[in-house]
Amino acid sequence: MPQNADNVLDHFNLFRQPEYKEMFENKKKNFENPVADDALEQAREWTKTEEYKEKNFAREALTVNPAKACQPLGAVFAAVGFESTIPFVHGSQGCVAYYRSHFSRHFKEPTSCVSSSMTEDAAVFGGLNNMIDGLANTYNMYKPKMIAVSTTCMAEVIGDDLNAFIKTSKEKGSVPAEFDVPFAHTPAFVGSHITGYDNVIKGVLEHFWDGKAGTAPKLDRTPNESINFLGGFDGYTVGNLREVKRIFESMGVDYTILGDNSDVWDTPTDGEFRMYDGGTKLEDVAAALNAKATISMQEYCTEKTLPYIASKGQEVVALNHPVGVAATDKFLMEIARISGKPISEELTKERGRLVDAIADSSAHIHGKKFAIYGDPDLCYGLAAFLLELGAEPTHILATNGGKNWAEKVQALLDSSPFGKDCKVYPGKDLWHMRSLLFTEPVDYLIGNTYGKYLDRDTGTPLIRIGFPIFDRHHKHRYPVWGYQGSMNVLVWILDAIFEDIDRNTNVVAKSDYSFDIIR
């Protein structure tokens, strides 16, 4: 074999060696029931046609590569945003391994999360004993200040009652009676990761504001001038939340981030392990009841939480992943209106710099066609920015987007001449997107890592914006919100355009007349 200790080959080169090529050929021939190459190619070409697209869009009982994840993933995302809080997922160990690995691969940081490790016996008799033992072990081993409980499919199918289970666990001495154990039911077979985020944030607020499970303290109801902020499920939470804090501080506004996970996924390497880092202080969560208003950066991530907050007498403001000049203007003007504080000179200058950058580069973006997929708010925000740049967001697809979202995006498209021939696709998946890219081609695709297969298959260059990003590192450290974040998005789009131009103009003496130094 070509591999040896003196010359270790990485997999890029190892699997191209003759021995491995022969092994793969034998595997394909003897075990994969292959069809003839010409028949395979004929079928592949058919899947690129309008005829196939019609059949593809007619399917109802099958989803192929959905652009979403399950509720408990969003539940874990929300839970780690609170001070010294460990997510406790009532379900199987394998599910929790998926959530932890998914976040660790995106953020390149360890993600602490425990499971009640339900197995076959719990599926038959219920998971109460798993909850009793699991809460006790978590409390004693990891010394958290709060344990946030959510569920997986198994616990939901058999109907485990978290409220009753937590009360019983406290009666059995698993954790002290006054210890904070908020919870949310997050069945993975409905909704998506944004639903799970919403359920857990609402569950945490109910725990502290309503005394759910009889453990939260009685609250002072003295109003204050603070503004609460909800970021929603966001793959750029490290960069975005730090940018949002900078914006609030630049305007001199008192604020509380509800679910601040920016530090837990960006811990330093300095010899100290931090199972918990940062996070919203629990006393601040309780005090947030008395805030003047709550701003949500992602409307469709907080569909249950915002009405709950509004029921407490607070004003609520819902935005849609503000990227670009107009969207950031709206965000800052809402802060100014609610707080009575003026927008700072610093932010005003940043706006002017963004406008200048757009003017410098608009000729390269104008008229370019884009396909976008991802979460509803992300798609809306990016589409709005593309229209602002003079581009055409031709296909906008959100597997977890609903009818109301689609209507709102369509209204956005109708408001601009660049949205004339653009369409919205709620509830569709990436196999639908493949048909669209073949039958109605665009210049660029914007989405998460899974779009690289569409890039290879359809030849549509992928601009990686979204969650998860596995095959590129450290994107999450950069903001995409606000004027500064919009500048990042603008640069990423331009880089892709210029790289595509260079790739298509680099044949010596044939196309290199446009292989320019200056763009």
265-310 tens-digit pLDDT: 999 999 999 999 999 999 999 999 999 999 999 999 999 999 999 9
Mean pLDDT within 235-244: 98
Please give the order of strands across the beta sheet that includes 227-230.
Answer: 255-257, 227-230, 293-296, 315-318
Given a cut of 80, is residue 215 above it in pLDDT? no
Q: What is the pLDDT of residue 221?
A: 66
Residue whose pair of structure tokens reads 């976008």 in the numeric block: 372
Mean pLDDT within 358-362: 97
Q: Helices H, strands E: what count in the chain?
A: 21, 12
Neighbours of 461 (CB within 10 A): 17
Least Cα distance to 122 among 151, 152, 158 occurs for 158
Q: What is the pLDDT of residue 165?
A: 96
Least Cα distance to 142 among 85, 94, 225 occurs for 85
- Are the CB atoms for 90 and 127 separated by under 8 Å? yes
The two tokens of residue 328 are 């950031």
What's the pLDDT tens digit per position in 376-407? 999 999 999 999 999 999 999 999 999 999 99
What's the pLDDT tens digit per position in 494-506? 999 999 999 999 9
Please give the order of strands across the beta sheet that includes 369-373.
Answer: 423-426, 392-398, 369-373, 444-447, 462-464
Please give the order of strands across the beta sheet that includes 146-151.
Answer: 114-115, 85-90, 146-151
Given a cut of 80, is residue 102 above it in pLDDT? yes
Neighbours of 495 (CB within 10 A): 11
Task: Give the rounded percent of residues in the chain with a pLDDT score beyond 90.
Answer: 88
Banded pLDDT at 148 (limits 50, 70, 90): very high
Mean pLDDT within 238-259: 98
Q: What is the pLDDT of residue 9?
A: 84
What's the pLDDT tens digit per position in 166-208? 999 999 999 999 999 999 999 999 999 999 999 999 999 999 9
Q: What is the pLDDT of residue 230?
A: 98
Indicate the residue type of 460.
T
Mean pLDDT within 304-325: 97
Mean pLDDT within 19-42: 91
Element (H, E) at 87: strand 85-90
Q: Which residue has the higher pLDDT, 120 or 402?
A: 402
Q: What is the pLDDT of residue 160?
A: 92
What is the per-residue burial (b if ≥16 Cβ within 10 Å, else e) of 10-22? eeeeeeeeeeeee
Torsion angles phi and psi, residue 446, rounded to 5: -120, 125
Given a cut of 90, is residue 433 above it in pLDDT? yes
Q: What is the pLDDT of residue 393?
A: 98
Quick one: residue 324, left, alpha or beta (phi over 0 = left, psi -120 to 50 = alpha)? left
Given a cut of 70, is residue 216 above it in pLDDT? no
Q: What is the pLDDT of residue 124?
A: 82
Q: What is the pLDDT of residue 34?
A: 86
Torsion angles phi and psi, residue 366, rounded to 5: -55, 130
Mean pLDDT within 115-130: 89
Banded pLDDT at 12 (limits 50, 70, 90): confident
Cβ neighbours for 339, distance < 8 A, ≥ 6 positions apart: 225, 227, 251, 253, 254, 292
Residue whose pair of structure tokens reads 């298959």 in the numeric block: 457
Torsion angles phi and psi, residue 257, rounded to 5: -80, 120
Banded pLDDT at 40 (limits 50, 70, 90): very high
The two tokens of residue 50 are 């309008």
Q: What is the pLDDT of residue 1?
A: 58
Given a cut of 80, is residue 83 above it in pLDDT? yes
CA-to-CA distance for 192 and 70, rounded, in angstroms? 5
The two tokens of residue 332 are 């800052």
Given a cut of 80, is residue 213 above it in pLDDT? no
Least Cα distance to 335 among 352, 349, 324, 322 occurs for 322
Given a cut of 70, is residue 441 above it in pLDDT? yes
Element (H, E) at 369: strand 369-373
Mean pLDDT within 445-456: 98
Q: Which residue has the higher pLDDT, 471 or 120?
A: 471
Omega of the bond prior to 72 within 30 degrees of 0, cis?
Answer: no
CA-to-CA distance for 315 and 291, rounded, in angstroms? 9
Mean pLDDT within 45-54: 97
Given a cut of 80, is residue 3 above it in pLDDT? no
Q: What is the pLDDT of residue 396?
A: 98
Torsion angles phi and psi, residue 246, rounded to 5: -60, -40
Mean pLDDT within 65-87: 97
Mean pLDDT within 483-493: 98
Neighbours of 137 (CB within 10 A): 15
Q: What is the pLDDT of residue 218?
A: 56
Q: How far is the CA of 43 from the CAs of 34, 38, 256, 454, 459, in angstroms?
A: 13, 9, 55, 17, 18
Q: What is the pLDDT of residue 123?
A: 80
Given a cut of 80, is residue 237 above it in pLDDT? yes
Given a cut of 70, is residue 217 above it in pLDDT? no
Given a cut of 90, is residue 120 above it in pLDDT? no
Mean pLDDT within 440-462: 98
The two tokens of residue 342 are 């003026």
Q: What is the pLDDT of residue 513?
A: 86
Banded pLDDT at 125 (limits 50, 70, 90): confident
Given a cut of 80, is residue 224 above it in pLDDT? yes
What three-state secondary structure class fits 473? Answer: coil
Residues with active-site annotation: 153, 157
Q: What is the pLDDT of residue 207?
A: 96
